[in-house]
Each structure stands twice: as C-alpha cells, then as structure tokens.
Amino acid sequence: MKTFAEFGLEPKVLQAVTEMGFEESTPIQAKAIPIAMSGADLIGQAQTGTGKTAAFGIPLISKIPPEEERIVALVMTPTRELAIQVADELGKLARYKGIRTLPIYGGQDIGRQIRALKKKPQIIIGTPGRLLDHINRKTIRLDDVQTVVLDEADEMLDMGFMEDITTILSLVPEERQTMLFSATMPPNIQKLAQQFLRNPEHVSVIPKNITAPSIEQIYIEVHEREKFEALSRLLDMESPDLAIVFGRTKRRVDELSEALQKRGYSADGLHGDLSQNQRDTVMRKFRDGSIDVLVATDVAARGLDVSGVTHVINFDLPQDPESYVHRIGRTGRAGKEGVAYTFVTPREIDHLHFIERVTRQRIARRPLPSLAEAIEGKQRVTAERLIEIIQQDDFAEYKGIAIQLLEQYDSVHLVAAAMKLLTGEKKDVEIELTPEDPIRAKKRRPDIRSSGRRFGGAVGGYGGRNSRSGGRGNGYGGGRGGYGDSGRGYGRSEGGRQRAGGRSYGDVRRSRGWSEE
Ligand SMILES: Nc1ncnc2c1ncn2[C@@H]1O[C@H](COP(=O)(O)OP(=O)(O)OP(=O)(O)O)[C@@H](O)[C@H]1O
Ligand SMILES: [Mg+2]
C-alpha cells in the first residue's frame, strides 16, 4: 500500500498526516486521493472505518492556497456530531497549512457561528438545514466554492435533505469538483449523482483488496421483556472498554440509559430531542471515557469515529441493512478489532435473515449469557483491576492495615471479601422498559446477484480470522482473492486504548457492497 509521501503531498500536509499517526494509506485513500487531486468528480465507497474522511480531506486541503480568504470548500454531513468530527479531522490535516475549518450545525447559537465566520474559514462543514439558514442570512456565500463533498450522501437523502441539498448546490458555481462518500450506496444515490456530479469516477474498494474492519458479528435471541437483563449480563460478561448500545426510539434511549445508570453502569443517552449542549456533553464524556456506554438512536450510526469502542450492541434490531452496517461500523475501525451483538426477538428472526442476505454476511447465533457467566465476567474485571493496582505498586499506606487483618483472618477470606466489595457495585434494581414493537420482515427478496457491480460489491468472502469465539466457518468464497496474508496494517502508530493493537489487512473478515435496499 502506498505511503502518503508517494502521493506527492506538499510537506505541510504530509507533516500533518504523519503526526496523526497515519503511516500507510488505506485502500480507499490509495485509489481516491490521486483521482481527487486531479480535480475529477468522484463517488467513493468503502467500508466503515477505512478512512474516507482523509480520502477526501487530503485532496481538498491540498487544493487550497494558504493565502486564501474565501470559503472555497463545503462539506455536508447528515448529523451535527459528524459535522463537528469531520471539521476536527480536516482541521488536523490542515493545521500546518494554516487553513481553517468551521463546523456549522443546528442547535448551536447562530451568533456564535457568525462571529466564527468572520475569522474567514476556508472550509465549512455543515448540516444542510443550518447551512441554508446562513445562506439566507447572507452570512455564508457560496460563490467561491470550488469543492463540495457530500459525506454519507445516502443518509442525507433518507433524512429528507434532498431539497435542501439541491438548493445549496444550485448556489455553488458549476465549475467545481463534487465528491460523494459513503459505506453504503443504495440506488437512489444514482439520482443524486446524475444531478450533481459531472462524469464522476466511481471509486469503490473491491473485496479483494478491501481493508475491512474486523468485526465479529453475533446475535442473541431474546424476548422483548428479557432484553434489559440480557444487556446487563452482556455488559458484565464482556466488560467493554467503550460500548455503543443502539435503541430504536428516543423514548427507548431515555429509558435505557436511565435504567443502566440505576444499575450502576456509567452510561448516558444521545438522540435528536436533546439540546445541543446535552448532545455535546454526552459525546465529550464518551470520547474522553468518563462514560463507558453510549446509548443512542441511529443519530450515532453514521460516521462517528470514537477510538476505543470495542462493542456495539443492537438492543433493538435496526430497521434496514444499511443501518445495521453503519451501526456496527462504529467498532472495528482503522484496522482494530470489534464485536457487534444484536438482540433479536423471536418474531424478528426473519428480518435478521433479511439483513444477513442483503449484507451477504452470516451472523452467528449465541445463547444468552448465563448469570454465572455474567458473574464470572464481573469478577474477572475486578481481579484485573486488583492486579493492575498491585503492578502499580502504590499502596504503601494500606500495608499496615493489611498486615493487621491478615493476623486475624484467613487470606483467602480477606481477598474474597475485598473482591465482593469491589465487584458488588451494580445494584439489582428492578427495571421495566416500555416494550417496542417488533420490526417486521421485508417481503422483498434481495437480488443478490445483480447487486454486485454497481457498488463494487463483487461477492467477497470471509477471510479466516481467529475470532475470540475460536473462528467461524467460512461463509462464502473464503479462499477468494488471497488478501488474507499481506500482514500489513494501517493502524495508527501511537496505538490507542483499544484492547487490540493495530490490526492488519490480513485480518479482513468480509467485504462487499450491496444495493438492494
Ligand atoms: N491511513 C490511515 N492510517 C491509520 N489510521 C487512519 C488512516 N486514515 C484514517 N485513519 C483513521 O481511521 C479512523 C476512521 O476513519 P474515518 O472516520 O475517515 O472512516 P470512514 O471510512 O469515514 O468510516 P464511516 O463509513 O464509518 O464514516 C479515523 O480515526 C481516522 O483518523
Ligand atoms: Mg466517514
């Protein structure tokens, strides 16, 4: 895979890339960056967590002269959190060039945004609604925009932003470069592309070379009323570093995050009815690890990149396969490992199979964790915490009392009692959630064969991988393509706090695109 120096980047951009810990380009970057640098329009598709942001960000930033003072680039995203995150990532890439990025999104004080606009950012990253607001107030002018990026374009369409996007794009000069990126490309995206892109190059990372995230996928069959108990046990058993739990509705998210808090988990909720302040606070707490469990609606399904997310749990089955893929794609990013659990009620099994068919992905069934497994999981975490403290060797002031206690009590009893004290922080509060209706199976049968070409989704295979469950059988064409042994990773050089270090391309489990939905 190419190093970033091979793209002929100017030193200031290259320095920023290096400082972000990127060593090699990801496959979508290797393909898209040269085309985007040539100025061509582009449709880019590659799996979640494979660096699409930098794939458009690096060329975008490279194009802008440092002395530029006008808004010359516009990026649109479906959600506020994503606008903030993309602005942040582009800001890092542009740091040494002195180019400024500004996120513009609803819910934030518009006066504050107008003041920030006076500092002459060259790149605006925004959600369509608030962008239009500024355009109407004439606080944002698009006359000089030369590059437009639609990130998660399919989701923006789904959210009903077509009209807003059309209006916004009609105000951008026709002489421009337009790029469109997403992990999923349902057919309606073609309409958008035809309307707004000129002879776009399709860049999709075909399974043979894809650097897919390595996500172990599991489902658990549970009755609606057992779900919360199942979640508690799962969290106890797995003790995720960071987990995202997806619920179907805002009410569900509120009830669930409250219930988790009552049980003693460090959890909080995110959905569209919260104030922007609340949303920002929750995201900040999740990013800095002061909460471990983020409970969210699909507002968090797209694009969010939080390092250290080891688990995604679909408390409620997602509505469609796209949503499934984006949700689980919040883990297993940048070559790291992740696990996705999906709760399925008996009446929803058909819908799960539908998702499996469309994604051409087998999801393994697991039994509900037993109480014993949950307890063992909790105890294991407590033991790990104890051992960590022993290794830190910073408890001299406790030694006196330890010696005294050991004179009176048996050592096993003492340690067991201390463990109980430490482990028993979860409270056995009775929880009752308002039941959600089951998702009904789609009647349509996905036409798997015809889906391949349009989105670069030639049938891929599960690469063999030693998962924690001991490896699952190959689903389809596992031997195809020989991408399983390159042994090269694109994980960041500094290594995050994720359990597994950077993983390599060789760990790719599956890869494909689809178009059925
Ligand atoms: N070449 C690289 N080497 C190492 N890490 C990288 C590289 N490129 C991007 N990353 C990191 O990988 C993570 C995922 O990137 P990004 O958010 O752009 O993924 P994405 O493809 O847009 O995913 P999604 O479909 O979920 O939006 C980010 O933390 C990013 O900084
Ligand atoms: Mg993205």
- CA neighbours closer than 13 Å in the CB half-sphere of residue 269: 21
pLDDT of residue 213: 54
pLDDT reading at 428 higher than 70: yes
Predicted pLDDT at 425: 58
| Atom of ligand 1 minimally distant from the CA of 307 | 29
Q: How many Å lie between the centroid of ligand 2 and the Cα of residue 49? A: 7
Q: Up-side HSE of residue 319: CA atoms within 13 Å toward CB?
A: 9
CA of 25, closest atom in ligand 1: 1
pLDDT in tens, 286-310: 999 999 999 999 999 999 999 999 9
pLDDT for residue 452 = 36
Whether 492 lines ligand 1, by a CB cut-off of 6 Å, is: yes
What is the pLDDT confidence band of residue 441, given thresholds at 50, 70 and 90?
A: low
Per residue in 242-274, pLDDT (tens digit) is 999 999 999 999 999 999 999 999 999 999 999
Region 202-207: mean pLDDT is 78
Element (H, E) at 312: strand 309-314
Backbone angles phi, psi at 124, to 5 degrees: -110, 135
* CA–CA distance, 334 with 31 (Å, rounded to integer): 17
- Cβ 263 under 6 angstroms from ligand 1: no
Counting Cβ atoms within 10 Å, is residue 209 exposed (0-12), middle (13-18) or buried (19+)? middle
Q: Residue 24 CA: which ligand 1 atom is closest?
A: 1
Q: What is the pLDDT of residue 188?
A: 79
How much distance in Å is there from the Cα of 356 to the middle of ligand 2?
23
Instruction: Answer yes or no: is pLDDT of 369 > 80.
Output: yes
Question: What number is the average pLDDT over the span 131-137?
Answer: 97
Nearest to 238 by CA among 257, 218, 254: 218
Which atom belonging to ligand 1 lies closest to the Cα atom of 305?
A: 17
User: Is 211 near ligand 1, meaning CB less than 6 Å away?
Assistant: no
Q: Which ligand is nearest to the CA of 50?
A: 1
Return the percentage of the chain with pLDDT > 90, whole number.
71
Confidence of residue 358 (pLDDT cuts 50, 70, 90): confident
Q: Is the CB of 77 under 6 A from ligand 1?
A: no
Which ligand 1 atom sits nearest the alpha carbon of residue 85? 17
In tens, the pLDDT along 214-237 reads 899 999 999 999 999 999 999 999
pLDDT higher than threshold 90 for residue 447: no
- Beta carbons within 10 angstroms of residue 80's beta carbon: 24
Instruction: Say what percent of the chain tops pLDDT 70.
Output: 83
> Would you say the CB of residue 329 lies under 6 angstroms from ligand 1?
yes
Cα angle value 87/93/96 (rounded, 5°): 120
Residues found in the chain = 517
The highest-confidence range among 40-49, 354-363, 489-498, by mean pLDDT, is 40-49
Domains annotated for the chain, with CATH where assigned, are 4-204 (3.40.50.300), 208-437 (3.40.50.300), 442-517 (no CATH)
In the prediction, which pLDDT does 190 show? 83
- Mean pLDDT of the 69-87 span: 97
Residue 476: left (phi > 0), alpha (psi -120 to 50), or beta? Answer: beta
What is the Å distance from ligand 1's center to 491 Cα? 10
CB 211 within 8 A of CB 30: no
Residue 171 above 90 pLDDT?
yes
- Indicate the pLDDT class of residue 1, thresholds 50, 70 and 90: confident
CA 514 to CA 494: how far, in whole Å?
A: 34
Query: 499 pLDDT exceeds 50?
Result: no
Testing ligand 1's pocket by substitution, the residue of 6, 19, 26 carrying the most ligand atoms inside 8 A of its CB is: 26
| 486 pLDDT higher than 70 | no
| Residue with the larger pLDDT of the pair 394 and 211 | 394
pLDDT of residue 489: 52
Task: Calculate the dihedral angle through the C-alpha atoms of 1, 87, 329, 266, rounding to the nearest 10 degrees.
Answer: 130
Region of poorest pLDDT, from 325-329, 353-357, 456-460: 456-460
Which atom belonging to ligand 1 lies closest to the Cα atom of 326? Answer: 26
Q: Is the CB of 330 under 6 A from ligand 1?
A: no
Confidence of residue 205 (pLDDT cuts 50, 70, 90): confident
Residue 462, pLDDT score: 28
Indicate which atom in ligand 1 lies nearest the CA of residue 28: 21
**53 CA distance to ligand 2 middle (Å):** 5
* CB-ligand 1 contact for 51 (6 Å cutoff): yes
| Residue 381: both structure tokens together | 């975490």
CA-nearest residue, atom 1 of ligand 1: 25
Residues with CB under 5 A from ligand 2 (ion): 52, 303
Q: Are strands 293-296 and 267-270 parallel, antiparallel or unpaired?
A: parallel
| Average pLDDT across the chain, whole number | 84
Lowest mean pLDDT among 85-94, 318-327, 480-489: 480-489
Ligand 2 center–CA 182 separation, angstroms: 7
Residue 201 has pLDDT above 70, yes or no: yes
Question: What's the 335 CA to ligand 1 centre distance in angstroms?
Answer: 9
Query: What phi and psi values does residue 269 have, to the nearest 5 degrees?
Result: -110, 155
The secondary structure of the chain in percent helix, strand, coil, rounded to multiples of 5, reads: 45, 15, 45
More confident residue, 121 or 320: 121
Give the Å distance between the CA of 371 and the centre of ligand 1: 37
Whether 503 shows a pLDDT value over 70: the answer reads: no
Q: From the CA of 489, which ligand is nearest? A: 1
pLDDT of residue 77: 98
Could you report the per-residue pLDDT of 89-119, keeping only the tens digit for each? Answer: 999 999 999 999 999 999 999 999 999 999 9
3-class SS at 493?
Answer: coil
Looking at the CA of residue 48, tell me the nearest atom of ligand 1.
25
Query: Mean pLDDT across the stretch 409-436?
Result: 85
How far away, in angstroms, is 358 Cα from ligand 2 center?
Answer: 21
Cβ 71 under 6 angstroms from ligand 1: no
Q: What is the mean pLDDT of residues 402-419?
A: 93
- Residue pair 56/106 in contact (Cβ under 8 Å)? The answer is no
What is the predicted ipTM? 0.99
Helix 411-423 / helix 396-408 crossing angle, nearest 10 deg: 120
Residues 6+ apart with CB under 8 A from 188: 154, 157
Among protein residues, the one with the nearest Cα to ligand 1's atom 3 is: 22
Q: Can you spell out the DSSP letters for 18-68? A: HHTT--B--HHHHHHHHHHHTT--EEEE--TTS-HHHHHHHHHHHHS-TT-
Give the model's pLDDT for residue 440: 75
pLDDT: is 40 or 446 the higher one? 40
